[in-house]
Amino acid sequence: MEGLGFSVRSETMLQTLTQDVLKSTEIEGEILDPEQVRSSIAKRLGMDIAGLIPTDRKCRGSCEDDYTREKINLVTNSLQIYRFNMLWLILQNISRLTIELSADCLQR
């Protein structure tokens, strides 16, 4: 997944967490609205996604249990590491370009 763009990666993680919550609650005999679950998780991840809908208390409770909270924390940490790595690569490229331009100017 490292090679995927940030938005594709985030959406994939959101879909995975949504399915996980839906399957977990289904096992317990509860059927939740998939769009509400998706919206609740996206809000907890701080994702700015069009079409988020209000969620009811039952849905929020299922998305905020200890297991789901831990998974969301792992995803959040993963996204932060990904952002840091992307920023690091950008800074490395800027440094490399600066050195190349400096060397080119000195040769003239």
pTM: 0.57
Domain that includes residue 82, residue range = 6-107
Please report whether residue 30 resides in a domain.
yes
Please report whether residue 99 resides in a domain.
yes
Please report whether residue 50 resides in a domain.
yes
Q: What is the pLDDT along the chain (108 residues), one digit of tens a residue?
A: 444 555 777 788 888 888 988 998 888 888 999 999 998 888 887 787 777 888 888 887 777 776 677 777 777 777 777 778 788 888 888 887 777 777 777 776
The structural domain count of the chain equals 1
Residues 105 and 12: their CA atoms lie apart, in Å, by: 45
Please report whether residue 1 resides in a domain.
no
DSSP letter (8 states) at residue 11? H
Residues 92 and 95: their CA atoms lie apart, in Å, by: 5
Please report whether residue 89 resides in a domain.
yes
pLDDT at site 6: 53
Residues 105 and 10: their CA atoms lie apart, in Å, by: 42
pLDDT at site 5: 55
Residue where the block lists tokens 């039952």: 58
